[in-house]
Chain A
């Protein structure tokens, strides 16, 4: 069964600090991995998408990495801001015939001033 596990479940950091969120998956065969940001009470918004051949992709202060061999991804947030407080969801799509992606539970990030 395809699964996406994220850690930590929640994280509290001070404004200006960096943090890294983790995503492990068992989706196979692999097609792509996305990180979404979901603000409280809002729908998820796509931050990055990475395919098998991509190791790193940046979007402003967000940098995603992918190790397709170990089936791990991370999302690094640099110089955190209060507006980064949100849930970050890892979503993995397979190439085995189903185009429906598998969602992780998300990491809840709180940035304190």
Chain B
């Protein structure tokens, strides 16, 4: 009964070679988030969509882009991966934004990216 699905679970790419990670959800949630998590660190929010409204975090590098073609799917594009981009990428959803963060985020299993 997976609710937030991420593909692939493991991705190996070459330095500078574009890569796309995908996330899909069966919850019909309005909000989808992309986080980057490096070893022993807290997840770092890259950006999120509220419906079709894209919200980029100020310190997210231009190298990272996202697309949300419909409610169910959201993609993370890394245009030119560097060695420092190797990390776990987590997708999450929430029903709504919630005025005070009371909306629960549901996380996918993550995609572990390795850059050679």
Contact = CB atoms under 8 A, between A and B. Distances in A.
Interface of A: 4, 9, 31-32, 34, 41-46, 49, 51, 89, 93-95, 99-101, 103-106, 108
Nearest to A38: B107
Nearest to B44: A103
B104 interface: yes
Given A32-B101, A43-B107, A106 B92 contact: no
Interface of B: 4, 6, 40-45, 48, 88, 90-92, 97-110, 112
B5 to A, nearest CB: 11
Nearest to A100: B45
B98 A99 contact: yes
A100 B33 CA distance: 10
Contacts of B40: 9, 105-106, 108
A42 B109 contact: yes
9 contacts: A41-B109, A43-B6, A89-B43, A95-B100, A99-B98, A99-B100, A100-B101, A103-B42, A106-B42
A106 B41 CA distance: 7
A33 to B, nearest CB: 10
Contacts of B101: 31-32, 93-95, 99-101
B43 A99 contact: no
Given A41-B88, A95-B100, 11 more contacts: A32-B102, A42-B110, A43-B92, A43-B107, A43-B110, A46-B106, A93-B98, A93-B102, A100-B45, A101-B105, A103-B43
Contacts of B104: 34, 46, 49
